Amino acid sequence: MIKFIFSLVAVIFLLLPASPAFAEINILNPALKGTCIVIVGDAAIRTPDFFKSLDDTFNAEAKSKKVISGTEIQSLYQTYWLDKGYLEEQKLTKQDLNDFVKYSGYDKVLFLIVNSPVMEKTKQGSGGWGAWIQTERTRASISVKVFLANETSIIKAADVAKEDDSVTSELRAKRGAFEKCIKEIQGVIGSLI
């Protein structure tokens, strides 16, 4: 009798992850995870505030379609290159895009290849009658090549370039230009994610 109860509990435990209530945490089902974002480029762009911009833009509308980005995905991308025998990220090929999708376990990966921002500083004066104030304005221009890939193909490719100004800091100008790029990318590719 005890063996029967133990067997029944074991069967229930094995079937429990297959129920719809536990579909998202199913350990026994290696289902694909959705979409993640990998930023390829300057380390200054791969910081928490830039990842927050990605999260705010791509996860604002649909709570059920979670797009994952951040240091965990970036570390997975670095591990991909280490497993291929390289200590640093290499120049991407189409095959690398598809291979990383397989490696990651996600069904789609959005690759953002960000060129180093072009910075331009200008001085502006304002005021008059002895109260002349000179301020420095920073303009950042960022271009991003975008590839949405699955295991076998490139679903969509795009090229976006934006700029933004700031009188406060270079970082604010970079972040502003990056956010403008991300919003345009979301408009172009968002429905495919």
SS3 67: strand
Contact criterion met (CB below 8 Å) for 117 and 140: yes
Sign of CA dihedral 40, 111, 157, 61: negative
Question: Which residues, 6+ apart, have CB-to-CB distance to 95 below 8 Å?
Answer: none
pLDDT tens digits, the chain, 193 residues: what are they? 666 555 555 555 555 554 444 444 444 444 558 899 999 988 888 889 899 989 888 888 665 668 899 999 999 999 999 999 999 999 999 999 999 999 999 999 999 999 888 888 887 766 656 666 777 888 889 999 999 999 999 999 999 999 888 888 888 888 999 999 999 999 998 888 7
b/e map 162-171, b = 16+ CB within 10 Å: bbbebeeeee
Residue 158, φ and ψ in degrees, nearest 5: -150, 160
Domains and CATH numbers, the chain: 53-121+139-193 (3.40.50)
